[in-house]
Amino acid sequence: MNECDSYKQYLNQHGMKSTKQRNLLLLILKKIQEPQTAEKLYLIAKETDSSINLSTVYRVLEKFTEKKITIRTSFLDDKSVYSLYPKTHQHQLICLRCKKIVLLENCPLEAFQHSVEKSTDFSIVNHRLELYGYCRQCQKIIAAN
Amino acid sequence: MNECDSYKQYLNQHGMKSTKQRNLLLLILKKIQEPQTAEKLYLIAKETDSSINLSTVYRVLEKFTEKKITIRTSFLDDKSVYSLYPKTHQHQLICLRCKKIVLLENCPLEAFQHSVEKSTDFSIVNHRLELYGYCRQCQKIIAAN
DNA sequence: ATGCAAATGCAAACTATTTGCATTTAGAAT
DNA sequence: ATTCTAAATGCAAATAGTTTGCATTTGCAT
Ligand SMILES: [Mn+2]
Ligand SMILES: [Mn+2]
Ligand SMILES: [Zn+2]
Ligand SMILES: [Zn+2]
């Protein structure tokens, strides 16, 4: 049993067959730890399994996302990126210059969400919060120009 | 001078030529007041100007967005939608089923943003907040199935 | 071992959006 | 008013990320 089989039990528990493509992608996602496009993951996977197909990568990621093993996010005009589903609720602080991402564990929205539910009659299941700005270093670089 | 010319001055002030397509789209955007896809705006525009082209609509909306006359937003897997650039800072509450959008005038993030600036040394210039859920009607429809 | 639903590879389709190009047009200059 | 030119438009084709149809292979329950 090679390392690509190591997620068999995990996958079966989630109601999925363990295939070499799925095991490999799971391995890659765990190793990388930052959001990547399907294409990038495909290229990395190809180094190990040269016969893997891009459609398969999309289908695997779709299934993973459906099972909440991964999360898919996309920004305006860009390709979607995929990463392991975060263990805890969190948000992102993104540097507009260098694209560095800082994860924020605190969420300030609980009370707000409840008050919006009350005032709108929506049932809110989810939210998206991202902060944009410039990191320390990029602030300096920008100031120097 | 028909009503479609009425934005000539406004457009010129923003460094754009006044064309019948731009005037018409501006009129439609002001009338509609809710985010619409380029295609929907195109269909509405066609009722008045049957020769308008979808590419033109995309190009006009792109230019408007560049000039901050409109704002473009897009959700996972969906078409982008365009609306007039909000006069005041606001956020959106989006129904995951029917895609209805409710605008929220309150922003609960001021204090949070400051505290994040302090703890991270970022200079935060912007944020994106969207709430997702189900509107009253869609809740009922979902419950009935 | 066998059977079958599920997963895969491959190629083609899809679809929102963009782009190239010939033509028209707005607005400045004459 | 006429002329000029860069910008805007219509049309068709291209683009690109993603999805899908289908023949084949594979995982896994029996
Ligand atoms: Mn939160
Ligand atoms: Mn806000
Ligand atoms: Zn930075
Ligand atoms: Zn709804």
Count of C-beta atoms within a 10 Å radius of residue B35: 21
Same domain, B66 and B8: yes
Low-confidence stretches of chain A (pLDDT beneath 70)? 1-5, 76-77
Cβ contact, residue pair B127, A130, below 8 Å: yes
Instruction: Give the CATH number of the domain where residue B5 resides.
Output: 1.10.10.10
Same domain, A66 and A108: no
Same domain, B63 and B95: no
Same domain, A62 and A95: no
Q: How many whole angstroms separate alpha carbon A106 and alpha carbon A7? A: 31
**pLDDT attached to residue A28:** 97
Same domain, B56 and B95: no
| Of A85, A102, A125, the domain-final residue | A85
| Of A65, A85, A105, the domain-final residue | A85
Element of type H or E holding A127: strand A123-134
Q: Which of B55, B42, B64, B52 is nearest to B20 (CA)?
A: B52
Strand order in the sheet with B70-73: B36-37, B81-84, B70-73
Same domain, A43 and A25: yes
In tens, the pLDDT along B110-135 reads: 999 999 999 999 999 989 899 999 99
- Domain containing B58 equals 1-85
| Of B37, B64, B85, the domain-final residue | B85
Q: What b-and-e string marks burial along B58-72, b requiring 16 or more CB atoms within 10 Å of the CB?
A: bebbebbeeeebbeb
What global pTM score does this model have?
A: 0.81
Going from the Cα of B119 to the center of ligand 1, the distance in angstroms, rounded, reads 18
Same domain, B79 and B105: no
Nearest ligand to the CA of A140 is 3
Q: Is A127 among the annotated ligand-binding positions?
A: yes
Same domain, B135 and B99: yes
**pLDDT attached to residue B112:** 96
Low-confidence stretches of chain B (pLDDT beneath 70)? 1-5, 76-77
- Put simply, whether A13 touches B (Cβ < 8 Å) is no
Same domain, A60 and A91: no
Going from the Cα of B137 to the center of ligand 4, the distance in angstroms, rounded, reads 6
Instruction: Give the CATH number of the domain where residue B108 resides.
Output: 3.30.1490.190
